[in-house]
Structure 1
Amino acid sequence: MLLHMSNSAQEAQSTPLHSVSVAGAVVRDDGRLLSIRRADNGTWELPGGVLELSESPEDGVVREVHEETGIRVEVDELTGVYKNTSRGIVALVFRCKPSGGSERTSSESTAVEWLTPDEVAERMTPVFAVRLLDALDGMGPHVRSHDGRQLI
């Protein structure tokens, strides 16, 4: 038996699926950057996560930062778009400023700290450090790709 697939079904099958995540590059007045140590793998990253279908990217950033760190933020601007080519994840990073709350860990974070740019570069892998450092340079939004370990 020969199955026939419509052109739209063939196109849908060949269309790559991507996940969209959002992250907050939260910058204090003293230039320190909000960072978390992830509970699942122990790496230092900026707070963020998967964007829910029903929310705007800005609302997603506010929710994710607060869930992971206890800090409330106001979103300033999009500073970068980062694609993990091996996992099909597109991350939107927004520079934010703290507007309340206090630092606390969550089920997703084992530490929450305000790091200097030098500490970010020391503690984070380059694919995550660049997201925070890009947010500081005022030259964005940046568009970068990586394979999960190295910038491409």
Structure 2
Amino acid sequence: MLLYMSNSARETTSTPLHSVSVAGAVVREDGRLLAIRRADNGTWELPGGVLELTESPEEGVIREVLEETGVQVEVDELTGVYKNTTRGIVALVFRCKPAGGTEQTSAESTAVEWLTPEEITERMTEVYAIRLLDALDQAGPHVRSHDGRHLVGRSA
């Protein structure tokens, strides 16, 4: 994580640090959505990760989805911005469509599956399920905050 502060800021206060991540809500023609079971903690989530300094958000989504699932995607549009108020992570979620590749696990995923909205609600925690469900809603983009487990504030 990088820290940007002016000399005067260093002397008095520190600038809040935030990390930016990107994720792909990959929607198949039959309405199923791509999900992974994470290798590090066993939770079900949509594929994504930290945006690198040299890439655009769309490039980051394409890279992360391919790395974690083996699926190549075309990025459609931004469907939501989600802030973890506890960890200072801002996640940008983009609706995508599959464009090739073959589903496969990686060092970051122990399962890759196409889930129905009902299965997403059953398998995922609220803060991850809502990202995929929001991607199905044409009224976005949605802006939501959460504490890492539950939605908080007016967006809840």
Instruction: Please tell me whether Structure 1 or Structure 2 has the larger radius of gyration of its CA atoms.
Output: 1
Structure 2 Cα separation of the partners of residues 37 and 144 of structure 1: 23
Aligned residue number for residue 8 of structure 2:
7
In structure 1, stretches of 5+ residues that fail to align are none
Q: Structure 1 vs Structure 2: percent identity of aligned residues?
A: 79
Structure 2 Cα separation of the partners of residues 121 and 10 of structure 1: 47
Aligned residue number for residue 63 of structure 2:
63
After superposition, what is the alpha-carbon deviation per residue over 1:40-83, rounded to whole angstroms, capped at 9, x for unaligned?
00000000000000000000000000000000000000000000
Aligned residue number for residue 141 of structure 1:
141
Structure 2 Cα separation of the partners of residues 151 and 44 of structure 1: 17
Q: CA RMSD in A?
A: 1.3
Give the count of matched residue pairs: 147
Aligned residue number for residue 96 of structure 1:
96
Structure 1 Cα separation of the partners of residues 22 and 49 of structure 2: 6
Kept after mapping to 1: 8 A contact 2:81/2:141: yes
Give TM-score scaled by structure 1 length.
0.94
Structure 2 Cα separation of the partners of residues 32 and 124 of structure 1: 15
Give TM-score scaled by structure 2 length.
0.91
Aligned residue number for residue 84 of structure 1:
84
**Residue type of the partner of 2:69?**
T
**Residue type of the partner of 1:109?**
S
Kept after mapping to 1: 8 A contact 2:126/2:150: yes
After superposition, what is the alpha-carbon deviation per residue over 1:105-144, rounded to whole angstroms, capped at 9, x for unaligned?
0000000000000000000000000000000011111000
**Residue type of the partner of 2:136?**
L
Which 4+ residue blocks in structure 1 deviate beyond 4 angstroms? Answer: none
Structure 2 Cα separation of the partners of residues 10 and 34 of structure 1: 47
Aligned residue number for residue 31 of structure 1:
31
In structure 2, stretches of 5+ residues that fail to align are 1-5
**Residue type of the partner of 1:9?**
R
Deviation at 1:6, TM superposition (A): 5.0
Deviation at 1:98, TM superposition (A): 0.2
Structure 1 Cα separation of the partners of residues 91 and 98 of structure 2: 21
Deviation at 1:99, TM superposition (A): 0.2
